[in-house]
Amino acid sequence: MTVRIGVIGTGMIGQDHIRRLTHVITGTEVTAVCDLDTARAEEVAASVGARALPTGGAVIDAADVDAVVVTSWGPTHAEHVLAAIAAGKPVFCEKPLATTAEDCLKIVSAETAHGSRLVQVGFMRRYDAGYREMRQVITSGAIGAPLMVHCAHRNATVPESYTSAMAAQDTAVHEIDVLRWLLDDEIRTVQVLRPRRTSKRYAHLQDPQIMLFETAEGVRIDLEVFVNCQYGYDIQCETVGEEGLVRLPDPAGVAVRSAGRHSTAVLQDWKGRFENAFDTEFREWAETVAAGTEPTGPSAWDGYAATVITDALVQALESGEIVHVDALKERPAFYGGASR
């Protein structure tokens, strides 16, 4: 039984997910799409045998849409997710869940009122084989209780439109989600250090940044965000526990010896790095939709937490101060409950 999916937003990431739902994942088909750019929506729809509808609401309400994927412009996410909840349909929303904590809370309230989980947020790292193996090692107890995590998130370059706040909102947000999940712990304080800026990019941009987190359990996390590192796309994560440590692998690639060097290629692009994670993410989500069960991925509460924490990071970057993230202290029972 094929899951029929409506996709709101047919930009680059939307098209990539439509391709994935059509050609990579079995058991799913895209039946309806919409976009502010209606010509683009028509074209994309035609390419996969779907209908282009005028609005997100029309997509959500369509009788041949079992579940919704929201990949439109960030500020419109909340509206579509709330409408999907109102319609009682499962909804996969690309990050951010909403651009304000307030809107995230509205979604949390609506979903809670609905009585079962409908929302999954698109944080794909939880589906990466390396992070999953790392989580297994941590939960197995092999390295003892986690004490520290050292991370780096590096991109070769970013366009001029990238702002200093986006280092938190667009870049670090991935580590925020995956670390909360890896450690099964909540972030309590954030701080941002401003290293000497690279001269290779825009004067307006604080790049790199070092972000410091403290969790409820006292784990200390340092995260280097460096989005113009020139040499490639590079994700590092090392969790240090009481008895050992576990480190994310670099992607496998052939080793070459020539001209006096032993070398392997560094990826240039996040797509290559997390392609498999995206596939697994949608495959597992679609399985829950097909089974009529609750989604098992990042929840609306996780989406809310990510927004609250990235807001705090932006504030910390500007103020230079430690910012407390007290809003997350009381996690509702509906979302695994128990305050920390």
Binding site residues, a second copy, CB under 8 A: 22-27, 129-130, 133-134, 137, 142-145, 147-148, 150, 152, 193-200, 208, 210, 212, 214, 217-220, 222, 224, 226, 229-232, 234, 240, 242-266, 268
Q: How far from 138 is each of 7, 133, 152, 284, 302, CA to CA, in Å?
A: 36, 9, 19, 23, 20
Q: How far from 215 is each of 166, 167, 169, 179, CA to CA, in Å?
A: 22, 20, 19, 10
CB 36 to a second copy: min, Å = 29
User: Phi then psi for 123, rounded to 5 degrees?
Assistant: -95, 105
Dihedral sign (CA 290, 119, 130, 261)? positive
Residue-wise burial string across 32-44, b where 16 or more C-beta atoms lie within 10 A, e elsewhere: bbbbeeeebbeeb
Taking the least distance from each CB to a second copy, the nearer of 53 and 309 is: 309
Taking the least distance from each CB to a second copy, the nearer of 102 and 321 is: 321
Residue-wise burial string across 257-275, b where 16 or more C-beta atoms lie within 10 A, e elsewhere: eeeeeeeeeebeeeeebbe
DSSP per residue, 187-238: EEEEEEE-----TTS-TT---SEEEEEEETT--EEEEEEETT-SS--EEEEE
Taking the least distance from each CB to a second copy, the nearer of 282 and 301 is: 282
Q: How many CB atoms lie within 10 A of CB 19?
A: 15
CB 139 to a second copy: min, Å = 13
Q: How many CB atoms lie within 10 A of CB 243?
A: 10
Taking the least distance from each CB to a second copy, the nearer of 86 and 210 is: 210
Taking the least distance from each CB to a second copy, the nearer of 115 and 260 is: 260
CB 333 to a second copy: min, Å = 26
Taking the least distance from each CB to a second copy, the nearer of 121 and 227 is: 227
Taking the least distance from each CB to a second copy, the nearer of 150 and 331 is: 150
Give the whole-angstrom CA distance, residue 98 versus residue 104: 5
Give the whole-angstrom CA distance, residue 179 versus residue 237: 9
CB 26 to a second copy: min, Å = 5
CB 131 to a second copy: min, Å = 9
CB 136 to a second copy: min, Å = 9
CB 78 to a second copy: min, Å = 32
